[in-house]
Chain A
Amino acid sequence: MTGRALARIAAAVVAVLLSAGAAADAGAADPAETARILRHGPWPMPWRPDPGNRLSGDAAAAALGRALFADPRLSADGSVACATCHRPDLHWTDGRPRSAGLAAGDRNAPSLVDVRRWRWFGWDGASDSLWAASLRPVLDPREMGGSIAALAGLVRGDPVLAGLYRQALGRAPLADDTALAVDAAKALAAFQETLASGRSPFDRFRDGLAAGDADAVSAYPADARRGLALFVGRGNCSVCHLGPAFTSGEFEDVGVGYFLERGRVDPGRADGIARLKASPFNRLGPWGDGGGADAAATRHVASQPRDFGLFKVPSLRNVARTAPYMHHGRLATLEAVVRHYSEVDEERLHPGRARLVRPLRLSEGEAADLVAFLRSLTSDER
């Protein structure tokens, strides 16, 4: 953090302490805690288009992407669209523990809201751009079972899609299948970039705290406020669920287990890195628009023994809308997630020096408070 940012936070803390005695009771506690709370905002944060996608941020491309997203013809038998598993009415998830496309899958479908902000995509980070992550399900035989050629053929042959393509790219659909499929994936990305979460009760509290606005601070429910104290304090949650998006964007082990069945596990990040490195559509490959300048992270990431069984830290914004939880969807409710963190088996977490996750042994009241806090991350508008 910069000195100026620290000074700003310190000023905000002082402002709170001076201006709002009542707020201090209802909201602020010690300055260190306040500083930790303030780091979870402001929201929304600024966002820059993806240098690896020349259609990023483009409204005409988003229109093409929107059409493709809802189109089941992207799948081999015409039965599965992106929207089958990322349903707008279910906060862009499918509400199932594990998704099923053409065949049953092993993982839970994450929400696509705020997806433009991530560096790695998928629970294992097998993709390093939103557009590459949008091509992956088309080609995955268990999800849509499509192909590069079929996707290109669809865009070329369908008058509506071809027209949207022409509007977005200012030219007729390309003859080269891969180039055209990559354009389609980039348009899918441009559409998903428009899915952004709004402000939540937590954000109003947090900004009130920053501004010394006693009314905004006291409007925040007391149980959520106590849960927030746990979240940034004893719970240690913000070590991983950090910053305004409530995620480090990296990969961790919280001890939820990753057996799929006897003889089969989900290796998580360990395979994600291998798949990322092997993909022709990663940022080091010829299909991105960043010229490699945007590929430092991809170049440097290397698989280590500890990556086995790590999964991406999910954002917690709107988490109340995205049940069930975890990469395999085995925890049905937020109450179950909090119980997990309360009772987690310490022995099955890696024995490194920093034990970030420990059994918290929460009382019933504390567990309810933590859930109330998580619910306060729900945006007002849909």
Chain B
Amino acid sequence: MGAAPRNLLAGLLLVATPAGPGSAGELPIVDAHIHYSADAWEMLPPEDAVRLLREAGIRRAFVSSSSDDGTQKLLAAAPDLIVPVLRPYRRRGELSTWMHDPAIVAHLEDRLARFRYAGMGEFHVYGGDADLPVVRRMVELARGHGLFLHAHSDAAAVERLFAQDPDARILWAHSGFDGPGNVRTMLERHPRLWCDLAFRSDHAPGGRLDPEWRALLEDFPDRFMLGTDTFAPERWHSVGRHAAWSRGWLAELAPPLAERIAWRNAEALAGAAGAGR
């Protein structure tokens, strides 16, 4: 069982078509922050979910779900589209308790033995909790499998994760909801830190780029990526709007930079996982 999915993942990352699946000339997007959790499955079966992604011109989606079965369902429906990310939650409602629950480790080991992933996350951990044993073990597992960490964390927790594994690659969910000044400091300090812009709009209030954010995106052209964050299943129906909104402010940037933020950076992060370390 092990080898085939690995090849699958590596293969799909190689066959990336530069034009993307959207309408002609539309900037393709990798959505790096998608969840397909249990409460989505009934109202939004996999074929509907995949159709929403394709209609939005999403060429790849990083998907993590509570439970991981959701990710596997989507991956089966669209292996070319889905970049599987392993969430340390077995069901909904574990987001503030998982780091205290040793059973999570066994859960992760079991999934890692059975399926292939590009990353580990999105998990929620703040401050000193990042040094709890369950979190440490998760970081070790990610390291062993060459997975990036998708961390919904404050800067303090990100620091602790890097202290545990200086070679880790961390995708900082929502850029930590931090201001551009602090995000800059973190990017300067950590060359293996990437940031998603999910569920925030202060970088483009009213759809226009904020000058301080613009400078940040230009100074760190390889580090940012987009995300819708379908934390509630209904939000799947906003993926298209979010893509359109993102294309709006991306158009203010030089096309090479816009492409990097829209998809190349995310593609590179996922690709590094497929290649191992």
A and B held together in a complex: yes
State which size class the interface on A falls in.
Answer: 20 to 34
Residue-wise, chain B 43-60 has the 8 Å CB interface mask toward A (1 for contact) of 111001000000000000
Tell me the total A-B contact number using a CB cutoff of 8 A: 79
**CB interface residues, A 299-350, toward B, < 8 Å:** 302, 304-306, 308-309, 345-350
Tell me the minimal C-beta distance from B256 to chain A in angstroms: 25
* CA distance in complex: A28, B232 (Å): 40
A29-37, A228-236, A257-265 - interface stretch: A257-265
> Which chain A residue has the least Cβ–Cβ distance from B232?
A348
Contacts of A304 in B (CB 8 A): 201, 205
A265-B228 contact given A346-B95, A347-B92, A351-B174, CB 8 Å threshold: no
Contacts of B190 in A (CB 8 A): none
Q: Does A171 contact B (CB under 8 A)?
A: no
Tell me the minimal C-beta distance from A10 to chain B in angstroms: 35
Contacts of A259 in B (CB 8 A): 43, 233-234
Contacts of A353 in B (CB 8 A): 177
Which residue in B66, B229, B231, B238 is a CB contact (below 8 Å) of A270? B238
**CB interface residues, A 240-285, toward B, < 8 Å:** 253, 255, 257-259, 261-265, 267, 270
A349 touches B231 (CB 8 A): yes
A305-B201 contact given A345-B92, A346-B93, A346-B96, CB 8 Å threshold: yes
* CA distance in complex: A350, B207 (Å): 20
Contacts of B92 in A (CB 8 A): 345, 347-348
* CA distance in complex: A306, B174 (Å): 13
> Which chain A residue has the least Cβ–Cβ distance from B44?
A262
Contacts of A350 in B (CB 8 A): 199, 229, 231
Q: Does A352 contact B (CB under 8 A)?
A: yes
* CA distance in complex: A258, B199 (Å): 18
Question: Which 10 interchain pairs have the tightest Cβ spacing?
Answer: A304-B201, A302-B206, A308-B238, A348-B232, A265-B234, A265-B237, A259-B43, A347-B92, A258-B234, A353-B177
Write the residues of chain B forming the contact surface with A, with a CB cutoff of 8 angstroms. Answer: 37, 39, 42-45, 48, 66, 89, 92-93, 95-96, 124, 152, 173-174, 177, 199-201, 205-207, 228-229, 231-235, 237-238, 241-242, 245
Known interface pairs A270-B241, A309-B234; 9 further A-B residue pairs with C-beta atoms within 8 A, sorted by A's residue number: A255-B232, A305-B228, A305-B241, A305-B242, A308-B241, A345-B39, A347-B231, A348-B39, A348-B92
